[in-house]
Structure 1
């Protein structure tokens, strides 16, 4: 197993921590992803790939779509089923989805496209999408333009998603057309416990040796003390949600 694959498959060990520590997606961003196929008389069908604990699944469901959740990790899907009901779940990957051809209107990935082979995943999305269907990619990123957030990121180590998106828009190949993008800035109220859960849910931290995890946690506690995130006191963590969509030709 490659290093990237080991990181990508690490989250199940901390599935409940992931559910607690990671933010949900702004409903406006998810609505934007689905706009090209929404609005008709027929209820649209969406595949949430790399669904994890259901952070994106539940928002898609809230918008009235029929959704199926796909993830390579059974532990993540088990946690999803605890809080998101009436959603079929399947073990699978972006490169190999357990879905028939031309069976969904949208394929969405939250916090996941940076883990996939973009050529193979685009081809597979094209297979399961109906003509004119949409591929939607979305990431919640901490806003490192804020000094204390940048300090926190430096302590925790930059994520693979942050590194990939710093190089430009995600790669999306055939059979998709031009990639559109949009972003939203917002804040998430968090206390000390949710800040620590957020850090502990990151693949780099999950797979790090014990002494490295201890170093990260000590450094993060120092930042939290400085910003007043002590006990149950709430501090707003600024986020930027970046979303991308492309239509199947």
Structure 2
């Protein structure tokens, strides 16, 4: 099976490099407290970091599909990490960013278009769907590495809390993406193993899966259970609820600087 793509089809896009540069510069500004407004720097760092993770999420789907047999991936521009090449730029980038701003939830976005007819084998189909949220999980591990290795103690408080909040978004995205709801990656993992009849019955619900999850999260009891699970995972990785809370407060710079506890 060939997976050869032209060099131009796998060259990293200047758009992605620009977003990554914003993440790096704003992260440095938070670390050095160089910005006149630390909150605005945290906002730029988290939003650009979130977009970078969305690009990596979709790239993981595309790259796995390429090795699974869909050689059309390169021509669609998915291997360049350019968010403007995604099938649904609104669902993939704009709405997830708005959800982060509005509620601090890393909701999954739309996806790359994969020609599933080119893929052979149920395991390959499942792996393609799982690749995206697994990338969010790996990104969460990378972001929390300073916490579970103890290196975070030497970091400025604002930067530490910004990392914590960005890690929270990755954990929420991984969990939500793995839900077995039509339209989400979790259902994509299971779908190849379902009977043809069940898949036909579930197909009409796929466009509404994300909206249904968002609506459920507005129910206080569901929201409490969900974020209790998220906090438990982050706690196991060395991240405290206070750090994620302060990170979100800094992120919402328009509300003013957060009040740090005495001794922080």
- State the TM bucket, normalised to the shorter chain: 0.3 to 0.5
Counting helix residues as a fraction of each chain, which structure ranks higher? 2
Larger radius of gyration: 2
TM (normalized to structure 2)?
0.31
Of Structure 1 and Structure 2, the greater strand share is in: 1
